[in-house]
Structure 1
Amino acid sequence: MNGADLLCETLLANGIDTCFANPGTSEMHFVAALDRQPRMRCILGLFEGVVTGAADGYARMADKPAATLLHLGPGLANGLANLHNARRAHTPMVNIVGDHATGHLQYDAPLTSDIDSLARPMSNWVGRADSADSVADRTREAIEAARSGAGGIATLILHADAAWTQTASAVPPHNVAPALPAPDT
């Protein structure tokens, strides 16, 4: 199992079974993992604003977190307006944002950006999975943050090499999700 498969399994084990996606090349291993997992519903969007808006609406209607898959910092930036709305509404959402392989960052490719700084204003939690062995723990942290009720937006930055590398980490056990707090009347 690679890091991308582990990410998918961790989302599913925690009740997240829908991912709205606008992927690019850095996210292809996670796209392949989504495709291999019939319990995960992947909905492609042609623009990141559509993806983040649809995830916000879905999570509000389903009363459970939605996941998004966005391409690098520019893809995240394209969806920030809807993430602002989702954060203000305390919508539970886990954003998975691809990043270049850790060894490639030194070359400052054209789409390299400071994803952490872009994510922070619209996220209650920002973290990085920089190795396949860290994917499950970081994903669980993101899900816990999304369910916290403190704003609900968690952004997990997934390096390409963390997605494609094999891991011996165990598939997490199924975790029953606590009920989301009811809105203030």
Structure 2
Amino acid sequence: MNGAESLVKTMLASGVDVCFANPGTSEMHFVAALDSHPDMRCILCLFEGGTSGAADGYYRMSGRVAATMLHLAPGFGNAFSNLHNARKAGSGVLNVMGDHATYHLKHDSPLKGDTEGVSQAISHWTRSSLSSADVASDGADAIRAARAKGGQIATLILPADTAWGDGAAPVTAASAPPLHRPSEADLDA
């Protein structure tokens, strides 16, 4: 099982079974993993803004976290405005942002961007998987973060080599901590 497959299995084990996708070349192993699991509903979107808007709408209608698949920093940038709306609405969205292979980043290719920087500008939680063995646990942490506080934006950056390398066993995301609710007495006071 490669890193991408471990991520899809982690998502499914954790109750995330919808992914709105606008993939590029660096996400092909993740696309293959999504395609090999018929219980994962993958919906191809023609523009990243539609992808993030659909994930936000899905959360608002169902109360369940949906995933997005976005291509590198430029694609994530195209999704930014609807992620802003999702953040303000308290929607739970799990973004999986592809990136170049870790050993290729030094070449500063035309699509290379500050993936962590663009993510941190809108996401409550951001992590870049450092190895294919980390992808499943990083994915579980991202799902937990997306469910926290009633819904947040969580972004997992998936470099291509972490998607195609040997992955670890799937992980089930821990439940989000319960929301603090004031008591009736506190409200009356």
Q: How would you bin the TM-score normalised by the shorter chain?
A: over 0.9
Aligned residue number for residue 14 of structure 2 = 14
Alpha-carbon separation, structure 1, partners of 2:151 and 2:108: 32
1:158 matched to 2:158: yes
Aligned residue number for residue 38 of structure 2 = 38
Tell whether the 8 Å contact from 1:63 to 1:180 is kept in structure 2 after alignment: no
Alpha-carbon separation, structure 2, partners of 1:170 and 1:15: 16
Alpha-carbon separation, structure 2, partners of 1:180 and 1:113: 36
Secondary structure of 1:149's aligned partner = helix
Aligned residue number for residue 52 of structure 1 = 52
- Give the alignment's TM-score, normalised by structure 1: 0.92
Q: Deviations over 1:57-84 (max 9, x none)?
A: 0111111101000000000000000000
Tell whether the 8 Å contact from 1:64 to 1:180 is kept in structure 2 after alignment: no
Aligned residue number for residue 100 of structure 2 = 100
Q: Deviations over 1:130-182 (max 9, x none)?
A: 21101011111111110112651001000000000123x2222x55856986x
- Gaps (5+ residues) in structure 1? none
Alpha-carbon separation, structure 2, partners of 1:114 and 1:48: 17
Aligned residue number for residue 131 of structure 2 = 131
Alpha-carbon separation, structure 1, partners of 2:75 and 2:24: 9
Alpha-carbon separation, structure 2, partners of 1:150 and 1:64: 10
Aligned residue number for residue 115 of structure 1 = 115
- Give the alignment's TM-score, normalised by structure 2: 0.90
Aligned residue number for residue 186 of structure 2 = none
Aligned residue number for residue 28 of structure 2 = 28
Alpha-carbon separation, structure 2, partners of 1:69 and 1:62: 19
The two structures, once aligned, show a CA RMSD in angstroms of 2.0
Cα pair distance change 1:156/1:175, threshold 3 Å: closer
Alpha-carbon separation, structure 1, partners of 2:68 and 2:166: 23
- Gaps (5+ residues) in structure 2? 180-189
Alpha-carbon separation, structure 1, partners of 2:123 and 2:151: 8
Bigger Cα Rg:
2
Secondary structure of 1:58's aligned partner = helix
Alpha-carbon separation, structure 1, partners of 2:92 and 2:123: 11
Cα pair distance change 1:88/1:36, threshold 3 Å: same
Cα pair distance change 1:134/1:179, threshold 3 Å: closer
How many residues in Structure 1 have an aligned counterpart in Structure 2?
182
- Runs of 4+ in structure 1 off by over 3 angstroms are 174-181
Alpha-carbon separation, structure 1, partners of 2:97 and 2:115: 8
